[in-house]
Chains A and B, each alone.
Chain A
Amino acid sequence: MTEPLLKVDNLVQHFKVSRNFTVKAVNGVSFEIYPGETYGLVGESGSGKTTIGRSIIRLYDPTAGEIFFNRDKISGVLNDKVRRMLRKNMQMIFQDPMSSLNPRKKIGDIIGEGLDIHGLYSTRKERNRIIGEMLEKVGLSPAHAERYPHQFSGGQRQRVGIARALVMKPKLIIADECISALDVSIQAQVVNLMKDIQAETGCAYLFIAHDLSMVKYISDRIGVLHLGNLVETGTTQEIFSKPTHQYTKSLLSAVPCSNPVIERNRRRSL
């Protein structure tokens, strides 16, 4: 058995709102992600799926629990070496492509910012070449590097978001609801792109979403979250063919299917 790329052990994330009120967003969640696989995290809003993603990439400081990434411990106090490793090898794609790109920066500079910080090129020419190749990989043209985010449509902006994550050649990409703000026909394009890139670079995805049919389509394994607890985890096959937890069953029964006859006849187990 290969070693897990990411190991989350008993992660707890609480937010202190006032002296006598704490939001317990995540209560002891453990899971592992192996290199090159896609792990889907599903649950309703408020179940803590986004919080887990943000705790792992250290946008929050976890209250308790341990996270190991690439064999290094990335929870608790980070030393400089681990921080650089984490920031280079783990990237995030955000939900809203309208607000996650700096409107005052050109696309090329948005994508190149990580390269600048980590010094991943030796000449200006090389930098532009890397950015151009990246833009081509996500289906845009190198000439787009000189444009600003507002000149692009939603689907194109999400491609820029993906290019920004990929340019660092990360081992793990956290995709937080990265397709839910897009139109149906564009969603399929972006998901196909993410699959192609995984086949090419072998990166792993933590795919956070509430759209179960899309999660089923892209994930190898799935974790179901309910009120900050991981209630069920298993391969996609297991979760969808033999759900055991009541909550998973009710979540599955709520998925609309595109068959009007079945929809008319079905009684929901809610």
Chain B
Amino acid sequence: MGISMNEKIILSVENLDITFRTNAGNVHAIRGVNFDLPAGKTLALVGESGSGKSVTMKAVAGLLDDNATINSGKIFYRQADGNVIDLLTLSKKNLRRTINGQQIAMIFQDPMTSLDPTMRIGEQIAETILLHKKISTSDANKRAVELLQLVGLNEPEKRVKNYPHQLSGGQRQRVVIAIALSCEPKILICDEPTTALDVTIQARILDLIQDLQAKMGLSVIFITHDLGVVARVADFVKVMYAGKIIEAGTVDEIFFDPRHPYTWGLLSAMPDLETNDDRLYSIPGSPPNLLHEPKGDAFAARNQFAMKIDEREEPPMFQISETHFAATWLLHPDAPKVEMPAQLRERLARARKAANLQ
């Protein structure tokens, strides 16, 4: 129960373990996830599709599908009055009434499908406010206009009468953010909020989320596979693979001193503007199918540095610094010394140099 001791932690997930029942069998999607979210900070969950990053956050928001079973785990949330509650013990009804929207809000990847195409956007924003607050309809409508102003939509008085199809992708995502913020939540969960958007629009939406975070004192969780976005917004990073966190650290630790071979692969798979090599270093193979429980280290099959022990036993979290952890046998004192790929090493050196010059 780390959370009750440390006042700065607003959300704490402990040993979360989730299985999905499917026609093909049981999928063990989350296999023991732990993390803390300090208040007012930004945490990024990084991983490929199927790594369990969205499922983890859906569990936090109480949005898991019916075929999911939570085998074990606790999700502690610190309320404004200082009381700590375990979200998993609340009934769905209670969760919807007191937590969703008012305390923890979520925005999704595709702004087209998360808005109702048959409702004017003003109504959609006011709907949320009316549901959660004792407030008159006209006041709620006024609030909708204010919120549109807050998220930087021009001519908000006119925009409230628009339907979603009359807006561009970036504008729609702004509306979704306005809805999420309508009841002044403490935690904002962003599930790939910019994946469907262009780079220029993406930059503006990320700016907006950061501005709002500073203005409203939000704690933000970013789910993404784009490390560029992570570098831009995150304070802390958790790298997920096959339902586990395999490396955790501050953003500087992950980008300048990554230790897990999977993180190396992720970093080098995205060329930056200075990459000049003939070939990209790529992770061979594809992510494991969690229908079959992986034996040993789930990443071993794709890991060029895998050792015999990787096939037998799962690596524990090795601590590198106060905030930096990685789950790989390479960090064991008896492990042979392994260097990261030269291509990546040069790039990290370049990045460190560029950072120092600033």
Contact = CB atoms under 8 A, between A and B. Distances in A.
B280 A259 contact: no
Interface stretch (B63-71, B74-82, B268-276, B316-324): B268-276
Interface of B: 48-49, 169, 198-204, 207, 225-232, 234, 251-252, 255, 265-273, 275, 278-284, 286-287, 351, 354-355, 358
Contact of A183 (B200, B207, B225, B279): B225
A184 to B, nearest CB: 5
Given A184-B269, A192-B280, A262 B286 contact: no
A256 B229 contact: yes
A250 B202 CA distance: 13
A195 B278 contact: yes
A151 interface: no
Contacts of A189: 282-284
B48 A183 contact: yes
Interface residues of A, number: 40
Given A185-B48, A265-B358, A259 B201 contact: no
A155 B265 CA distance: 16
B282 A188 contact: yes
The binding surface of chain B is classed by DSSP as helix
Nearest to A186: B286
Q: Give the top 6 A-B pairs by smallest Cβ distance, nearest first.
A: A256-B228, A261-B355, A188-B282, A188-B269, A44-B198, A188-B280
Contacts of A214: 271
B225 A261 contact: no
B311 to A, nearest CB: 21
Given A184-B48, A256-B229, 4 more contacts: A155-B286, A192-B282, A217-B280, A253-B203
A212 B198 CA distance: 11
Interface string A215-229: 011000000000000
B273 A212 contact: yes
Residue in B201, B234, B282, B351 whose Cβ sees the most chain A Cβ within 10 Å: B282
20 contacts: A44-B199, A183-B48, A183-B287, A185-B266, A185-B282, A188-B268, A189-B284, A210-B198, A211-B199, A250-B200, A254-B202, A255-B228, A255-B273, A257-B273, A258-B227, A259-B354, A259-B355, A260-B255, A262-B355, A265-B358
Contacts of A186: 48, 286
Contact of B271 (A45, A155, A213, A259): A213
Contacts of B282: 185, 188-189, 192
B279 A192 contact: yes
A191 B48 CA distance: 17
A251 B275 CA distance: 18
A259 B281 CA distance: 18
Contacts of B354: 259, 261-262
Highest count of chain B CB atoms <10 Å: which of A195, A216, A253: A216
Interface string A231-264: 0000000001000000000111111111111110
Interface of A: 44-45, 153, 155-156, 183-189, 191-192, 195, 210-214, 216-217, 240, 250-263, 265, 268, 270
A213 B267 contact: no
Given A259-B351, A260-B255, A188 B281 contact: yes
B232 A256 contact: yes
A39 B311 CA distance: 44
B231 to A, nearest CB: 4
Contacts of B273: 212-213, 216, 240, 252, 255, 257
A143 to B, nearest CB: 18
Contacts of B200: 44, 250-251, 254, 270
Contacts of A188: 268-270, 280-283
| Most chain B CB neighbours (cut-off 10 Å) among A211, A250, A262, A263 | A263
A263 B358 CA distance: 11
B284 A44 contact: no
Specify which of B48, B204, B267, B270 lies most central, judged by the most chain A CB atoms within 10 Å of its CB. Answer: B270
A259 B198 contact: no
A217 B255 contact: no
A263 B231 contact: yes
B283 A213 contact: no
Contacts of B351: 258-259, 262
Nearest to B252: A260
Contacts of A262: 351, 354-355, 358
Contacts of A256: 199, 202-203, 226, 228-229, 231-232
B238 to A, nearest CB: 15
Nearest to A191: B280
